[in-house]
Structure 1
Amino acid sequence: MERRAFIKSSVLLSTSGMLMTSKSFIAHSKASEFRYTERLSEQKLSLSKLDYPTSLVENPQQKIVKVRLKPRVARRYSNKTYILFESSNSIYMYDEDGRKISEIPLVVHVKDFAIDEKRQRIFVIGETTFTVYTLDFNGEILGSFGEFGVELKHQLSGIKSITCDKAGHIHILNTYSNNIKKFDSQGVYLMSYAPTSFTNRPKLLSIDGYDFIEVVGGKFADTVYKFDISGRFIG
C-alpha cells in the first residue's frame, strides 16, 4: 500500500510539474508574441469598444442623420490605439479600454502615419507622393523631407506606406521602386531593401514594425516578409 501511495503521489507531482511548465510556456509564448505596433483592420476594430466620432449628413431622403465615421488608418502602439478617420483632420488617440484620450490636429492631408512614442513625434505622408512631414503631438510641423524622382536611390515617387522603428529610423514603402527606403530621423537616406525571389520581386502593399519590420505583399496580400531594422531578411 505504501508503494502504491508513493507511486500515486509521484504521478501527481509529475503531472503538477508538467502543468506548471505548460502554463509557464504558454505565458512565455504569449509574451513573445506581443507586438509593440500593429495595423488594425476594420474587423479587428469592430471587436473593440472605441468611442467613434460621428458626423451629421443628409441622407437620400433629405433627412439629417448622425453617422459614425469610418477609420482610414488605424494603428496600435503598445497599449494605445491611434486612428485617422475619414472626413477628419485629427488623429484620435485611445487607451487600452477604448476611451478617447486626446486628438492630434493635422494641418496637412494625411494618407498614412507612423508614431514615435519614445520621442513624441509623428511621421505622416502628406499631400504629395514624395513628402514626409514630422509633427509633434500637438500637430505642429517640426520639419519635412523627401525629393521626387526615380533615378537616384534616395528619391521617392509614390509613397504607399510608412513605419518608424525603435531606433527612430523611418522605413518607407515606395510605389515606383517597389522597395523599402530607410531614412534616419532627420530625413537622411540610409539604404534600400526588399524581398527577392528567383523570378521577380513580389508586389509590396504595406509596412509595419518597431523591433523588426514586416512587409505585406503578394497578389492577394497573403505573404508577410520579415526584416530586422537594418534591412536584413529574417523570414
Structure 2
Amino acid sequence: MRRRGFIKSTFIMSALGGAGFSLPVLANQSKLTTLYARRLNDSELLSTKINPPALLIENPQQTIVEINLKARVARRYGSKVYILFESTNQIKIYDDKGQKVGFVPLNMHVKDFAIDEKRQRLFVIGETSYSIYVLNFKGEVLGSFGEFGTELEHQLSGIKSITCDELGYVHVLDSNSNNIKLYDSQGVYLKSYGPRSLYAKTRLSTIDGYHSITALGGKFADTVYKFDISGQPLG
C-alpha cells in the first residue's frame, strides 16, 4: 500500500522510542494557560456577536420558514473565529466583533479542521477515514497524508478529531486505536501517545490545543487529559 505524505518522504518508523528522538517542549510553561486556540461549544457561540447564516425551508404545512444554521465545527484562534456551519461548503471567518472578514471555500465534505495561521494553511478531515488534507486559505488542496490500516502504529482508521500546535505539527485522534498520532509540519508520522496506557477503559472523543494538547474522554466527554505538544502528560 502506498504511503502518503504532504511531502514525498517515508514515515519515520525508527523514531518510535528511538534513541535521541525528542520533540521541542515549551520553555515557558506559563504559555500552557494561554487559550490562543480552542473549540467553542453552542453556549459559547451564543455569547458572541456572530449571527449564524439562515436557510429558507418549506415545513410540513407548506409554509416557508427561516431557520438558523448550526455550527458543525467552531474554533477560535486569537482574535478570529472559524466556523463550519451545517449545509454550507465554506469555513467562515469572523473577527472579535462578530463581523465576517473572510471565508475558505471547500470542495469536499469536512468533518473537522485545524488552522495553522502562522503558515496560512488548514488541515481538514475529509471524505476518507484515514486522510488529512492540507489546504491554503483559497481552499486549494496542497497535499495530503495518512495511510489506512489497523496493524501498524502509524496507520489510521476512523479519524475523530485533529488539532495543530504552535510548531505546525498535527495531532490526530484515531478512533480505532483510541490514541493520538503526531505528524510533523510536513505530514511525516512521528509517534503515538494518549492516556490509553495510563488509564484503563478510557475512550477519547475530541482533541484541542495549541501550546498544549487537551483530550476529552469518558462516557460523557467530561474527563480531561492534558499533554505537552510532544505528547508527554501534564499534571
Alignment of 1:219 with 2:223, yes or no, is: no
Summarize deviations over 1:126-176 as a string: whole Å, max 9, x none: 011101100000101000111110011111000000000001000000000
Matching residue's letter, 1:70: K
Q: Which amino acid aligns with 2:114?
A: A
Residue 197 of structure 1, CA deviation: 6.0
**How far 1:51 sits from its partner (Å)?**
2.5
| Contact 1:80–1:93 under 8 Å retained in 2 | yes
1:95 aligns with 2:95: yes
Q: Structure 1's 63 and 221: CA in aligned 2 closer, same or farther, altered over 3 A?
A: same
What's the counterpart of residue 155 of structure 1?
Answer: 155
Moved more, 169-178 or 182-191: 182-191
Instruction: State the 1:34 CA deviation.
Output: 3.3
**Partner AA of 1:135 in structure 2:** L
Query: How far apart, CA to CA, are the structure 2 residues paired with 1:223 and 1:53?
Result: 33
Contact 2:178 2:196 in 1 (8 A): no
Q: 1:199 to 1:140 in 2, by over 3 A?
A: closer
Q: CA RMSD in A?
A: 1.6
Higher relative contact order (CA 8 A, sep 6+): 2
Indicate the residue corresponding to 2:208 in structure 1: 208
Deviation per CA, 1:206-228: give whole Å up to 9, x if none. 00011010001112211111101
Q: Is the 8 A contact 1:104 1:138 kept in 2?
A: yes
SS in 2 for 1:118: helix
Structure 1: give runs of 5+ residues left out of the alignment. 1-30
Give the equivalent residue in structure 2 for 1:4. none
Structure 1 residues 225 and 199 mapped into 2: Cα distance closer, same or farther (>3 Å)? closer
Could you tell me how far 1:195 is from its partner in structure 2? 1.0
Equivalent residue number for residue 13 of structure 1 = none
- Partner letter of residue 167 of structure 1? L
TM-score, structure 1 length as denominator? Answer: 0.84
Equivalent residue number for residue 10 of structure 1? none
| Secondary structure at the counterpart of residue 143 of structure 1 | strand
Query: Could you say if the C-alpha distance between residues 108 and 131 of structure 1 is closer, same or farther in structure 2, counting changes exceeding 3 Å?
Result: same
Question: Is the alpha carbon distance of 1:63 and 1:147 closer, same or farther for their aligned partners in structure 2, counting shifts above 3 Å?
Answer: same
Partner of 2:83: 83
Structure 2 counterpart of 1:56, one-letter code: L
Map of 1:185 onto structure 2 = 185
Equivalent residue, structure 1, for 2:13: none
TM-superposition CA deviations, 1:100-144 (whole Å, max 9, x none) = 111110011000000000000000000111011000001010001
Aligned residue for 2:195, secondary structure, equals coil
Inter-partner Cα distance in structure 1 for 2:159 and 2:223? 20
Shift of 1:185: 1.8
Partner of 1:12: none
Match of 2:134 in 1: 134
Aligned residue runs from structure 1 range 3-22, under 5 A? none
Amino acid at match of 2:99: R
**CA separation in 2, counterparts of 1:154 and 1:32?**
27
More helix by share: 1
Mapped partners of 1:141, 1:124: distance in 2 = 10
- The C-alpha deviation readout for 1:66-104, integer Å capped at 9, x for no partner, is 211110000011111000000000001000011111111
Q: TM-score, normalised by structure 2?
A: 0.84
Name the CA shift for 1:75/1:199 in 2 (closer, same or farther; >3 Å): closer
One-letter code aligned to 1:215:
A
- Report how many aligned residue pairs link the two structures: 206
Distance 1:102 1:62 in 2: 35
Matches within 5 A, 1:28-47: 33-47=33-47
* CA deviation vs aligned residue, 1:169-215 (integer Å, no higher than 9, x gap): 00000000000000112211000001146662410010001101000
